[in-house]
Copies of this chain bind each other. A is one copy, B any other.
């Protein structure tokens, strides 16, 4: 909810960065590819180079402003880091994405890392299925 300032995270407040951040904050779609961001900006008349979109999103990720996901394996999906950590459940028919947090899973993951002798950095959990809407349509 609290929009962090670019300078706070050590990034110069350039026009492209401000446009991209503003777009992420105001978009009602939470999960977007770099291409999605690029096209959306173009359509709203904001000109930002595609390479810059990629660069800036990566910088935002490093700065903790956005999270990167690999929902399908091919391209990266970004989302503004404005809420708690959460995992995702995705509809394989329509692409819908829902978010969830499960403390049981979180703690089991930590336990597994411990059991295996790993220090845990991060994790990715994706559940794939068919959402209720798509189940009815078929």
Contacts and interface: CB of A to CB of B under 8 A. Distances in A.
Interface of A: 68, 70, 72-74, 76, 89, 91-92, 98, 100, 102, 104-105, 108-109, 112-113, 115-132, 135
Identify whether the interface residues of A are mostly helix, strand, loop, or mixed: mixed
One complex includes copies of this chain to the number of: 2
B113 A129 contact: yes
Contacts of A105: 104-105, 108-109
22 contacts: A68-B73, A70-B72, A70-B73, A73-B73, A73-B74, A89-B112, A89-B113, A98-B116, A102-B108, A102-B112, A105-B105, A112-B127, A113-B127, A117-B132, A118-B129, A118-B130, A119-B129, A120-B127, A121-B129, A122-B128, A122-B129, A125-B125
A100 to B, nearest CB: 5
A76 B115 CA distance: 27
